[in-house]
Amino acid sequence: MMPDDFFKKNMEMWEQFTSSYMDTIFKTVEKTFDQSKVFKDAVDKSVGSAMETQVEATKTTLESIQKQMEDLTSKVDDLISKQQAE
């Protein structure tokens, strides 16, 4: 094999290798981005669900406190009325 042929063959092999390598790297990066999006979507869904649950729990607690306040207000009003009647 002549030196020029050897160099030409070497360059062809190098170009094939680099092309294949770049394709592999590109596909790997693309897959990583896709997996990151899937992960982000799952986290967003979980956080949304947790926030919704927390909001519902807070709402229930506030409703209970409101009911207790209404009951206390009614009892205080009754006591005031009885005291004024005496």
CA dihedral 27, 10, 8, 12 (to 10 degrees): -20
Report the candidate in 33, 39, 14, 38 with the shortest Cα–Cα distance to residue 25: 33
For the chain, first and last CA: distance in Å? 124
Is the confidence at residue 2, as pLDDT, over 80?
A: no
Is the confidence at residue 1, as pLDDT, over 70?
A: no
pTM here is 0.53
User: Which residue in the block uniquely carries the two structure tokens 């009754």?
Assistant: 78
Is the confidence at residue 50, as pLDDT, over 70?
A: yes
